[in-house]
Amino acid sequence: MNFFIAAPFGNYIKYKFRDNVISVTGSWTVEHRSGFLGRFLRVLKTMRYDRKRRGWKNKLGLPNEGIKVGLQKTKLNEIMSIAAIEDSDFKKLYKTVPMDQSLEINFSCPNLDEKKPLSWNDAYLFNISPSSRKYCIAKISPIITIDQLAFLIDDLGFKQIHCCNTIPIKEGGLSGKSLIPYVNKLILLIRKRWGSDITIIAGGGVTDPEDIKNYLSRGANHISLGTICFKPWKIKKLINQTY
């Protein structure tokens, strides 16, 4: 089992004490959307903890310096999270990213200003030969439909699924403990329809060993850490407690 430090935390949190802890950087887009100051201001302006819903609200909207900077900041043993803004972006990202760079394709950011639905059709490119990526993960929405999920797996060829991104709400996206029932449902759905053919990375509200046991017992292969990254000094203890 591996632990993934979820984007954007993976941009800053790097752990070398175990080979099975992998940072995910990004999410990176084709064009520059914001530098460090812009990201910082968006965090201050939009990120709030909602005690009633037990989760973090944000409306960040994928602030990043663009894919070329992302390639410079991501090591080959790390994973790049990438996202499309326009329909043509998947082709541009495919041509830019080396064939041996592991990827997580973010199909599910709820905070983009652009409201036009994107076509996922060109995302099949990331799964064709001669790709030598160790990971090519589809990060999905907690409210993805079964038809959308089947399209990603059966038509576009994704065999590694990250359950899941933030819950779309009026204020943007909601992460944290509120995600757990959505992730539980998605794990069971995938296992029922596709059996063991799919590798599942489960994340959402993981703060203690019981959260990890819950996801693994339902059929997850790996664990994504996001919520606990707000208190990064607790990550090492959590991982050690798991073994």
Residue range 13-58, pLDDT digits in tens: 998 777 899 999 999 999 988 776 666 556 655 666 777 777 777 7
Q: What is the pLDDT of residue 111?
A: 45
CATH 3.20.20.70 fits 3-242, yes or no: yes
Q: What is the rounded distance in angstroms from the CA atom of residue 108 to the CA atom of residue 201?
A: 15
Q: Which residue has the higher pLDDT, 46 or 217?
A: 217
Checking if the pLDDT of 6 tops 90, the result is yes
Instruction: With a cut of 80, say whether residue 168 has pLDDT above it.
Output: yes
Buried b (16+ CB within 10 A) or exposed e, 186-222: bbeebbeebeeebbbbbbbbbbeeebbebbbebbbbb
Domain ranges (residues) in the chain: 3-242
Bridge partners, 106 (sequence order):
139
In three-state secondary structure terms, 49 is strand
162: pLDDT strictly greater than 80: yes
Reported as a pLDDT band with limits 50, 70 and 90, residue 202 is very high
pTM of the predicted protein model: 0.91
pLDDT single digits (tens) 98-137:
999 999 999 986 545 545 678 899 999 999 876 789 999 9
pLDDT of 115 = 54
Give the mean pLDDT of 173-187.
94
pLDDT of residue 43: 61
What is the mean pLDDT of the segment spanning 207-212?
96
The total of other beta-carbon atoms located within 10 Å of residue 168's CB is: 16
Least confident piece of the model among 28-37, 44-53, 79-88, 158-167: 44-53
What mean pLDDT is reported for the chain?
89
